[in-house]
A and B are shown apart, each in its own frame.
Chain A
Amino acid sequence: GQNIDQPTEMTATEGAIVQINCTYQTSGFNGLFWYQQHAGEAPTFLSYNVLDGLEEKGRFSSFLSRSKGYSYLLLKELQMKDSASYLCAVINDYKLSFGAGTTVTVRA
């Protein structure tokens, strides 16, 4: 089975840094995605990790440790528009399994 855990909610201040953790126990693993989803909208791609280590993309970075079944998404210099849900998803043989998502609220 697939078990993907992430915190339900996080709140942070504009300009700050927030780290969203994701732990997974899955029957197979080909890679890990992070998606952003604004309320009422479709998920959009943020990052993909297949090897251990940190991938940086502008204000967003994602880290993976395959041996620990652990990933995090780091959001730097938070902006109000970053208020959204962030979804961790594991892919195995083209099958994508999602965590329940972490709602991030950015306060002024």
Chain B
Amino acid sequence: EAQVTQNPRYLITVTGKKLTVTCSQNMNHEYMSWYRQDPGLGLRQIYYSMNVEVTDKGDVPEGYKVSRKEKRNFPLILESPSPNQTSLYFCASSLRREGETQYFGPGTRLLVL
């Protein structure tokens, strides 16, 4: 089944404790992206990647890191999480072709205490 998977789905952590949210897709998509979704603000892009070893900042990259060592994986790293990073996170992927929709993972709900 074609899909985007994220792990973990739910995470409670404390300020400053490094964490990684994994994202994997099995559709051979070149493009991958991370978003956060907060009430009243909608989805905001954190980082995106056009292909392996190519990443770029989105609208809200502060406090996050990403890597794209393999085509299928695009982990999101929070080196020192803070309470303002409490949010719902979505990973998405797509082909690099005009009009191609992005396919979203199921989401990761993060609470930073």
Binding site for B on A (CB under 8 A): 2, 30-31, 33, 40-45, 48, 50, 87, 89, 94-101
Chain A neighbourhood of B106, CB < 8 A: 41-42
B contact set with A: CB distance below 8 Å: 31, 33, 35, 40-45, 48, 50, 58-59, 90, 96, 98-99, 101-107
Assess the B50–A94 pair: CB atoms within 8 A. yes
Give the complex CA separation of A79 and B25 in angstroms. 32
CA distance A30 to B45 in the complex (A): 17
Q: Contacts A42-B106, A94-B96, A95-B58 known; A33 to B42 CB distance under 8 Å?
A: no
A97 to B102 alpha-carbon distance, docked (Å): 12
Distance A95 CA – B59 CA, assembled complex (angstroms): 10
Known interface pairs A42-B90, A50-B98, A87-B42; A96-B107 also in contact (CB < 8 Å):
no
Nearest CB of A to B77, in Å: 21
- Contacting residues, chain A, for B50 (C-beta < 8 A): 94
Give the Cβ gap from A93 to chain B, nearest Cβ, in Å. Answer: 10
Smallest Cβ-Cβ distance to A94: which chain B residue: B31
B101 touches A48 (CB 8 A): yes
How many Å lie between the Cα of A33 and that of B107 in the bound state? 20
A98–B101 contact, CB under 8 A?
no
Chain B neighbourhood of A94, CB < 8 A = 31, 48, 50, 96
A97 to B48: give the CA distance in the assembly, Å.
12
Interchain nearest-CB distance for A35 vs B (Å): 8
Q: Which of B40, B44, B96, B98 contacts A98 (CB 8 A)?
A: B44
Complex CA gap A42/B102 in Å reads 11
How far, in angstroms, from A100 to B43 measured CA to CA in the complex? 7
> CA separation between A30 and B40, bound complex, in Å?
25
